[in-house]
């Protein structure tokens, strides 16, 4: 225990109020003295106010960063964005300070605030859950403290009011920010407490932490036990996309159907709802009604007389408190088809905060592929989002193999159910933590098994594809030098500044470290593609949830890889000179996580904070692997969200020559792939088929080719391709997918190249370069090579791994901004839009 660290910093932004508390820890008595606290109305400005308020409170209380032994954070339930702001910031602070992060319930903090105000008796805390829903939790307040009576859940406000009407109690105390919206529903159900007690307080957070400490659930001094990476928000429902998917898959007419061939492919639109197989040929997706009979058949084969029949399995699907996943043997290069054989399944029931595992079955021919682990982790991941905190199950007393698996996942034997199974065998009752899925952070450009730079999902204690996490020694970076072994402050001056940059604008969580010589010492990325593929595109809510889960591991990996490159045993946050992050443009919910984490880390390490425009990062990506590249140049920036032609007069001096007036190029590729049933992301698979097709087979339109300006339009082309596909299907003709893909690609490339040629002639720029994920398209790159040769200009293209979203490009921009002293305040927020022409 570090006796110099004796304070806890606690804060919460789960609703419209920022609550912050500073407490003095006493290990001997397990007590926390509140030395300072503050509550401030945030009004949707938590991300701009939180850290300045923390800094101000610490200064007023005379508590330095080095005195903080623990960070406590409100995990919700509450506003999803608000909860993630607090949690991401807390993860950054705790990581930089190298202390533990303890999550406490935001609703428990409200209850303890009421207790501190001398309220006693039955208390109902009802928090706003948006969508006309509430989070209701009941407590019992006695002189001994606040005792939780019910688990977290979400319910429609009027439905819960009806529940209360059936159990009315005139002496019931009621608090919670939902009263601001629904006071008329609850005012007759009890005594409304003063509005000051409706939201968390700094003191309430500290008391909730103290209660958890005394119950043995946490230890503020044990940093190893409370790794910031494992702190997660409290959710009580799936994302809208997942909820809708579950309802659709529960109907036999909404489940996967279709077929595929080696050259001519025909699939219906629902094929996009399926993930691709991993390197071992196994695909995972939520169980659908069309495969109920397959589950029942496998049940009969592996469960004997305890097997469920089709009716029992079908009855589980679509229930709000049930989660079922299935595993299929599939071709890793193609979307999952209806013919893919089922090789495993698992299901669970969420009740009172516990995930009760109902079934786990794996085809004997497919055992020892880690399928059961991954299925359990997938079920647990959904269950966690439904409010589960623990997991329990029954297993045959003689099934040593299954018991060993569960023990490896953290389950422990609690007891025995005599003669539980139909043949009279006893069952062991086991309980443990929820198995987890994390995103693997790998060096950018390296493959994980055959995932091609995609950080495949990891299940607890085992990767889906059987590969271990990438280690620092797996990647070498140019410019690494031999330096002295790591010491407390021995980062030599020639390597300074050392800057860690973070990218989280969409569905990639990435981090990189760059040194003062412009050498990328690390560049790692974790992708969420598997979590979005089954929806045919990125789901913003899922993206932000996964960023929260991945960001600590990604940054830790970036620091480890950088340390190895620098020849030292470790690299710590306090050894850095700045923290940088993408702040715009992008998905706001995703950006918020990166910005809040980076600001927290910058505050904790007491180093400058730098923001970077994501689009500028794509321009700088051309410096990666080509140090002599410099403006002036014309840049084609083509990605899923952007299609621009930019004139770079100098670094930081940009003029947009033309942009799309509707769809972006990457978006068009995804939509065409969706129409063909080729899955997501569309760019790589469309390119694959295009290489086998005739680009002149179908005369798709070249929109705005002769417009006389440098603008683009992809919507008409996309519509033309979809119309062609629909007409061919209506006529009963089999689609020639390679020809469609090749003809569509040619139509895109012709316009892109023609506009680029015009831009070069207009500006007289001696260099042409690319940026964005679509810049990896082989047909487009080849066409640009030919055009630049004809025009006599230099062609610069970023490495394939640097075309998509990555942190290396953000680090390149950050280094220049550091040298220019372009630091940002900790009140900076994330922005959905960012004008490349406007200095920031």
Which residues sit in the known binding site for substrate?
637-641, 670, 683, 777
CA angle 687, 693, 699 (to 5 degrees): 100
- Which of 840, 819, 810, 825 is closest to 591 using CA atoms? 810
Strands (E) in 363-436, as ranges, are: 390-396, 412-417, 427-433
Q: State the Cα–Cα distance between residues 155 and 727, nearest whole angstrom.
A: 45
The sign of the dihedral angle between the CA atoms of 573, 574, 576, 580 is positive
Instruction: Give residues with Cβ within 8 angstroms of 593, minimum separation 6.
Output: 84, 88, 504, 544, 547, 548, 551
Would you say 72 and 205 are in contact if contact means Cβ atoms under 8 Å apart?
Answer: yes
Residue 552 CA to residue 202 CA, distance in Å, equals 25
Distance from the first to the final alpha carbon of the chain:
44
- Could you give the CA distance from residue 706 to residue 817 in angstroms, rounded to a whole number? 39
Q: CB of 50 within 8 A of CB of 18?
A: yes
**Residue 124 · residue 141 · CB < 8 Å:** no
Q: Can you list the positions of beta strands (E) in 105-144?
A: 121-128, 133-142
The annotation places the binding site for Fe cation at 614, 618, 805
Give the phi and the psi of residue 62 in degrees, each rounded to 5.
Answer: 70, 30
Which residues on adjacent β-strands are paired with residue 510? 503, 525
Alpha carbons 536 and 284: distance in angstroms, whole number:
15
Binding residue positions: 614, 618, 637-641, 670, 683, 777, 805
- Check if the beta carbon of residue 513 is closer than 8 Å to that of residue 498: yes
> What backbone torsions phi and psi does residue 267 show, to the nearest 5 degrees?
-140, 150
DSSP string, 279-300: TTSEEEEE--GGGHHHHHHHHH
Joined tokens for residue 817 = 């901004």
**C-alpha dist (Å) from residue 522 to 452, 575, 658:** 18, 15, 34
Residue pair 236/155 in contact (Cβ under 8 Å)? The answer is no
What is the layout of strands, in order, in the sheet containing 442-443?
A: 442-443, 520-527, 508-514, 499-503, 578-584, 609-613
The alpha carbon of 533 is separated from its chain's Cα centroid by a whole number of angstroms, namely 14
Q: How many CB atoms lie within 10 A of CB 349?
A: 16
For residues 135 and 34, give the distance between their C-alpha atoms in angstroms, rounded to a whole number.
28
Q: What is the CA radius of gyration of the chain?
A: 28
Q: Do 127 and 78 meet the contact criterion of CB atoms below 8 Å apart?
A: yes
* Separation of alpha carbons 317 and 326, rounded Å: 12
- DSSP-assigned letters across all residues of 766-799: SEEEEESGGGG-HHHHHHHHHHHHHHT-EEE---
């Amino acid at each position: 225990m570090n006796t110099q660290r004796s304070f806890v910093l606690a804060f919460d932004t789960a609703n419209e109020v920022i609550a912050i508390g500073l407490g003095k820890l006493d290990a001997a008595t397990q007590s926390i003295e509140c030395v300072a606290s503050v509550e401030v109305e945030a009004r949707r400005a938590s991300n701009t106010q939180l850290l300045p308020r923390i800094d101000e409170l610490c200064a007023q209380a005379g508590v330095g960063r080095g005195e903080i032994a623990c960070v406590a954070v409100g995990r919700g339930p509450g506003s999803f964005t608000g909860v993630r702001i607090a949690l991401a910031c807390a993860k950054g602070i705790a990581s930089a300070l190298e202390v533990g992060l303890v999550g406490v319930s935001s609703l428990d903090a409200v209850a303890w605030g009421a207790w501190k105000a001398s309220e006693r008796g039955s208390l109902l805390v009802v928090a706003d859950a948006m969508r006309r829903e509430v989070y209701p939790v009941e407590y019992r307040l006695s002189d001994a403290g606040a005792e939780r009576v019910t688990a977290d859940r979400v319910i429609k406000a009027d439905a819960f009011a009806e529940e209360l009407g059936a159990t009315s109690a005139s002496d019931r105390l009621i608090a919670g920010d939902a009263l601001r919206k629904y006071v008329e529903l609850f005012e007759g159900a009890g005594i409304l407490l003063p509005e000051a007690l409706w939201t968390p307080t700094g003191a309430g957070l500290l008391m909730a932490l103290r209660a958890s400490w005394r119950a043995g659930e946490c230890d503020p001094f044990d940093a190893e036990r409370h790794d910031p990476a494992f702190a997660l928000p409290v959710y009580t429902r799936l994302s809208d996309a997942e909820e809708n998917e579950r309802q659709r898959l529960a109907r036999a007419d909404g489940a996967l159907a279709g077929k595929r061939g080696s050259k001519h492919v025909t699939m219906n639109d629902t094929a996009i709802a399926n993930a691709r197989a991993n390197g071992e040929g196994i695909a995972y997706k939520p169980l659908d009604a069309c495969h109920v009979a397959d589950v029942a058949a496998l049940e009969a084969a592996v469960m004997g007389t305890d097997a469920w029949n089709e009716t029992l399995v079908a009855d589980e699907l679509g229930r709000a408190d049930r989660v079922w996943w299935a595993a299929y043997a599939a071709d890793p290069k193609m979307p999952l088809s209806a013919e893919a054989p089922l090789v495993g399944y698992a299901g669970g029931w969420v009740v009172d905060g516990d995930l009760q595992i109902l079934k786990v079955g794996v085809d004997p021919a497919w055992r020892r592929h880690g399928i059961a682990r991954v299925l359990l982790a997938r079920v647990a991941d959904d269950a966690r989002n439904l409010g589960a905190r623990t997991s329990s199950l029954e297993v045959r007393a003689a099934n040593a193999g299954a018991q060993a698996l569960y023990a490896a996942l953290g389950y422990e034997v609690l007891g025995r159910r005599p003669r539980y199974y139909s043949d009279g065998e006893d069952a062991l009752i086991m309980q443990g933590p929820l198995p987890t899925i994390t995103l693997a952070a790998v060096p950018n450009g390296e493959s994980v098994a055959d995932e091609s730079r995609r950080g495949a999902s990891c299940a607890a204690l085992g990767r889906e594809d059987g590969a271990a996490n990438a280690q620092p020694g797996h990647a070498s970076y140019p410019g690494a030098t031999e330096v002295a072994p790591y010491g407390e402050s021995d980062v030599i001056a020639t390597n300074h500044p050392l800057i860690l940059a973070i990218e989280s604008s969409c569905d990639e969580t990435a981090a990189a470290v760059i040194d003062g010589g412009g050498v990328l010492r690390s560049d790692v990325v974790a992708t969420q593609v598997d979590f979005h593929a089954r929806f045919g595109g990125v789901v913003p809510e899922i993206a932000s949830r996964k960023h929260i889960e991945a960001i600590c591991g990604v940054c830790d990996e970036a620091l480890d890889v950088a340390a190895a490159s620098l020849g030292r045993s470790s690299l710590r946050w306090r050894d850095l000179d700045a923290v940088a992050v993408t702040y715009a443009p992008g998905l706001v919910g995703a950006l918020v996580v990166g910005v809040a984490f980076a600001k927290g880390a910058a505050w904790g390490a007491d180093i400058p904070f730098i923001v970077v425009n994501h689009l500028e990062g794509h321009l700088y990506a051309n410096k990666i692997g080509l140090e002599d590249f410099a403006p002036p140049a014309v840049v084609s920036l083509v990605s899923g969200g952007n299609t621009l032609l930019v004139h770079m007069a100098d670094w930081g001096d940009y003029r947009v020559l033309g942009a799309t007036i509707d769809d972006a190029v990457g978006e068009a590729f995804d939509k065409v792939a969706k129409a063909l049933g080729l899955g997501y992301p569309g760019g790589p698979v469309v390119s694959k088929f295009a290489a086998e097709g005739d680009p002149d087979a179908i005369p798709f339109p070249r929109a705005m080719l002769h417009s006389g300006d440098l603008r683009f339009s992809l919507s008409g082309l996309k519509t033309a391709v979809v119309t062609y596909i629909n007409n061919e299907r209506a006529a009963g003709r089999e689609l020639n997918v390679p020809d469609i893909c090749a003809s569509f690609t040619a139509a895109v490339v012709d316009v892109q190249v023609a506009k680029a040629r015009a831009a070069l002639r207009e500006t007289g720029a001696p260099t042409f370069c690319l940026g964005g994920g679509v810049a990896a398209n082989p047909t487009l790159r080849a066409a640009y090579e030919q055009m630049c040769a004809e025009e006599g200009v230099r062609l610069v293209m970023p490495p394939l791994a640097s075309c998509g979203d990555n942190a290396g490009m953000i680090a390149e921009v950050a280094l220049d901004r550091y040298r220019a002293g372009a630091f940002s305040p900790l009140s900076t927020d994330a922005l959905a839009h960012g004008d490349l022409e406007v200095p920031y």
